[in-house]
């Protein structure tokens, strides 16, 4: 599931136990999906909802690859700098999922029914765009990074409202699987090494 099940009014990372309060249709559909899973499977406890946030990978359509492309094509990029989240790579998330599956299968432990997983640290979309330029240049994917200009959410209107703050507290997952998260910039570097 996703950080978008929350409204973004927190000032510290959301814990798995916090109440859902989505502010857009995407978040509402995810919240309804979670509730349906709970309603159907709660008697047997044969489910685990894992929320993640700001997902990026080395293929497909995602923010990191879009920014890399814009660094190649534009002279400057304007990017929102007042929405905060926990960037997460698909590689990091998949490792966490496999570890959770192994724990469930082998140790027959009582897992919490809702967990969070995201990479360490907090960033804005602007922070990620700047990092993409720096990393892309370092790895030779870019001739040079372009200037990234910070703008506010009100200067970049979209149809859907986005949470201002949607960072996830993954400490319970880290402890459970014995895997400390990696800082998002390091995982972003690893992501771009996969496409180099």
Catalytic residue ranges: 26
Distance CA 35, CA 47 (A): 12
- Please spell the DSSP secondary structure of 65-108, one letter per residue: HHHHHHHHH-SEEEEE-S-EE--EEHHHHHHHHHHHHHIIIII-
Q: How far apart are CA 2 and CA 100, in angstroms?
A: 17
Other C-beta atoms lying within 10 Å of the C-beta of residue 43: 7
Query: What is the Cα 57 distance to its own chain's centre?
Result: 11
């Amino acid at each position: 599931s996703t950080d978008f099940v929350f409204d973004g009014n927190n000032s510290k990372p959301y814990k798995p136990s916090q109440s859902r309060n989505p502010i857009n249709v995407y978040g509402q559909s995810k919240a309804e999906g979670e509730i349906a899973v709970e309603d159907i499977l709660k008697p047997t406890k044969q489910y685990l909802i894992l929320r993640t946030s700001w997902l990026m990978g080395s293929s497909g359509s995602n923010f990191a690859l879009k920014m890399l492309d814009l660094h190649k094509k534009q002279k400057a990029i304007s990017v929102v700098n007042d929405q905060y989240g926990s960037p997460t790579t698909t590689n990091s998330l998949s490792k966490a999922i496999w570890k959770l599956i192994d724990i469930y299968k082998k140790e027959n432990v009582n897992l919490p029914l809702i967990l969070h997983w995201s990479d360490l640290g907090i960033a804005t979309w602007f922070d990620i765009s700047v990092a993409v330029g720096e990393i892309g240049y370092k790895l030779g994917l870019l001739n040079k990074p372009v200037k990234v200009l910070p703008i506010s959410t009100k200067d970049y209107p979209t149809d859907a409202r986005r949470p201002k703050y949607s960072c996830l507290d993954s400490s319970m997952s880290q402890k459970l699987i014995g895997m400390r998260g990696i800082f998002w910039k390091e995982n972003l570097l690893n992501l771009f090494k996969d496409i180099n």
